[in-house]
Amino acid sequence: MKPSNDTQISEFLLLGFSEEPELQPLIFGLFLSMYLITVVGNLLIILAVCSDSHLHTPMYFFLANLSFADICFISTTVPKMLLNIQTQRKVITYAGCLGQTFFFFVFGCVDNLLLTAMAYDRFVAICHPLHYSVIMNPQLCGLLALGSWCISVMGSLLETLTLLRLSFCTSVEIPHFFCDLPEVLKLACSDTLINNLVVYIVTVVLGIFPFSGILFSYSQIFSSILRISSTRGKYKAFSTCGSHLSVVSLFYGTGFGVYLSSAATSSSMMSLVASVMYTIVTPMLNPFIYSLRNRDMKGALSRLLGRVVPLSIRLVTGHS
């Protein structure tokens, strides 16, 4: 029997990873650990950038914004999943699903645009070093960051508002741990042509174009590095963008993996694993990439922890 429409639907069911009761504690512990590592790691990056004057540069300004976006990005999906596991309920309200979809796209797009801004920063630093301080002035950096947030909100709002026109079938089970837009659209009983068109347009404007900008920036960067005569000079120039290049590769590699796996296989588990890499593992690894590969960041984190740890000990022991 064909399911009937239900335009007054009030909730969806997030099926998550497994219905096996014995696996729930393991899944809860694993994702809680990953969430805490992500939040703490990115928070340390933000505090280090804000507290250390040596890091008051455009690159670290964008990095602090990226870390904040990563905290928000993972907080959009994981806490709800952990709550559902803990309460043994899989329900998410209709409004909650729309909100999760909106914020997921906002912070995902912000990540994308900030990585593009950081690529431009590295392009100016390596290809136009004498004009770097003039071009990458505080006003431009502020506009690039603010523009990234505003454009992401508008693009996400466009995608989310088009969901309001849809009616949904009585089958409201989402085989995912969050309200992934493609999975939500599959549950619609009404025509989704407009929604799919909006998704394609937003993907091109906020996905393909920024990625093309990153590729162009790095083509110019590599061209400039190859023209450097000394090996030491090449290594020094490349090391300034090594961390960013690693994050870009991880971000787009896992992102493309999600959609390629979805297109290549009908297995919901494969799509779930790919989504975990994109939505959880990438934000978790970003602080490690920037702290382990960057001498300035390691120094700033050491100084920050050197101030925080003694203060914490004094507070715990009650000494002034």
Instruction: Please check whether residue 1 lies inside any domain of the structure.
Output: no
Range of the domain at 152: 8-317
Residue 33's pLDDT is what?
95
pTM (2 d.p.): 0.87
Q: pLDDT for 10-45, tens place per residue?
A: 788 888 877 777 888 898 999 999 999 999 999 999
pLDDT, averaged across the chain: 85
In a domain, 2, yes or no: no
Longest dimension (CA), the chain: 73
Lowest-confidence pick of 88-92, 154-158, 210-214, 275-279? 275-279
Does the residue 68 lie in any domain?
Answer: yes
Q: What CATH number does residue 278 fall under?
A: 1.20.1070.10
| Cβ neighbours of residue 300 closer than 8 Å, sequence gap 6 or more | 48, 49, 51, 52, 54, 55
Residue 166 forms part of a structural domain: yes
Residue 106 predicted with pLDDT over 60? yes
pLDDT at residue 117, rounded to an integer:
95
Quick: pLDDT tens for 180-218: 888 888 888 888 899 999 989 998 899 889 999 999 999
Give the integer Cα–Cα distance in Å for 248 and 254.
Answer: 10
Do the domain assignments include residue 99? yes
- Tokens 């990540």 — which residue? 111
d(CA 130, CA 128): 6
Q: Please give the pLDDT value at position 265.
A: 56
pLDDT at 258: 66
Tell me the C-alpha distance between 312 and 68, whole Å: 24
**How many domains does the structure of the chain reveal?**
1
Question: pLDDT grade, residue 262 (50/70/90)?
Answer: low
CB 102 within 8 A of CB 157: yes
Do 127 and 220 contact (CB within 8 A), yes or no? yes
Angle at 30 between CA 293 and CA 172, to 5 degrees: 115
SS3 call for 14: strand
Q: What is the pLDDT of residue 218?
A: 93
| Within a domain: 87 | yes
Cβ proximity of 62 and 117 under 8 Å: yes
Shortest CA distance to 76 belongs to which of 96, 54, 104? 104
Is the pLDDT at 55 greater than 60? The verdict is: yes
Question: Which range (207-211, 256-260, 304-308) has the least confidence?
Answer: 256-260
What is the C-alpha to C-alpha distance for residues 305 and 317, in angstroms, rounded to an integer?
A: 18
Amino acid 3: pLDDT: 44
- Residue 3 placed within a domain: no
- Whether residue 64 is predicted with pLDDT greater than 70 in this model: the reply is yes
Burial class (CB in 10 A: 0-12, 13-18, 19+), 162: middle
